[in-house]
């Protein structure tokens, strides 16, 4: 029976990173066959391993969460200079990470998952997956500015043209924007080309997943039908 180091096994099961697994083991929070685990030990699939209050099956259960990222939370795994990071804000028994970022000053829907294949598929630019935002700017929107951004504008700092996008005016200074592109701080840069600063930016949809009634800091697990549709739209087969 093939043996595997316990910290690697915990990481493969989506519990945490290998480094954090070593801490869990050292703190006595992992058991193997009813006994406290020890650093450096190895296990097989026949062993009964418990960590963080759940029995591990040896299979990485795929999970996707819809999370309302508040303003001020940083999308990073580790950052000594960030006061709040997303991986510490979401208390979930399975280790998840973000699929697509939201900058510190923005809020709204962020998908979190332990499925690397899904993250890769969602981030692939050729997929043209839709992301929807509500954006408030610093002055009244002009028709010329809206039309320019709809058609695509040149972003000097990135040396690239933004793709044509869908824009609906909701108020004199507020618009709904649907992008199929994921450039760094894209909407803020697009607005800047037209002389506007973004006062608030909220993401309300990623592909088929809606922010819905979530409040800042809240999260929920996707329903089976949402998961199925998300995987299909990303060209993946749900395991």
Q: Are strands 198-206 and 107-113 parallel, antiparallel or unpaired?
A: parallel
What sign results for the dihedral spanned by CA atoms 35, 18, 223, 86?
A: positive
Q: Which of 103, 105, 197, 213 is catalytic?
A: 103
User: Number of H helices and number of E strands within the chain?
Assistant: 7, 17
Q: Is 103 a catalytic residue?
A: yes
Q: What are phi and psi of 68, to 5 degrees?
A: -90, 100
Give the CA-trace dihedral at 218, 113, 77, 15, to 10 degrees: 100
- Nearest to 176, CA basis, from 148, 204, 155, 152: 204
Cα–Cα distance measured from residue 98 to residue 76, given in angstroms and rounded to the nearest whole number: 8
Task: Please report, for residues 8, 93, 235, the alpha-carbon distance to residue 23 in angstroms, rounded to integers and kept in the order given.
Answer: 13, 15, 37
Active site residues: 103
């Amino acid at each position: 029976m093939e043996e595997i180091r316990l910290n690697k096994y915990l990481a493969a099961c989506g519990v945490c990173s290998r480094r954090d697994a070593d801490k869990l083991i050292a703190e006595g929070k992992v058991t193997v066959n009813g006994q406290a685990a020890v650093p450096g030990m190895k296990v097989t699939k026949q062993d009964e391993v418990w960590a963080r209050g759940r029995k591990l099956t040896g299979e990485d259960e795929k999970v996707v969460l819809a999370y309302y990222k508040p303003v001020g939370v940083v999308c990073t795994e580790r950052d000594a200079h960030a006061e709040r990071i997303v991986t510490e804000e979401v208390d979930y028994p399975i280790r998840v990470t973000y699929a697509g970022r939201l900058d510190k000053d923005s809020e709204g829907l962020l998908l979190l998952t332990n499925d690397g294949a899904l993250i890769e598929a969602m981030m692939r630019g050729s997929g043209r997956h839709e992301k929807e935002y509500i954006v408030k700017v610093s002055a009244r929107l002009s028709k010329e500015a809206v039309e320019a951004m709809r058609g695509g504008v040149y972003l000097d700092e990135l040396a690239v043209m933004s793709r044509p996008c869908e824009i609906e005016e909701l108020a004199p200074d507020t618009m709904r924007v649907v992008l199929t592109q994921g450039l760094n701080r894209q909407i803020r840069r697009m607005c800047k080309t037209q002389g506007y600063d973004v006062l608030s930016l909220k993401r309300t949809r990623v592909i088929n997943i809606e922010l819905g009634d979530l409040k800042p800091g809240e999260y929920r697990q996707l329903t089976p039908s949402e998961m199925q549709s998300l995987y299909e739209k990303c060209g993946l087969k749900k395991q």
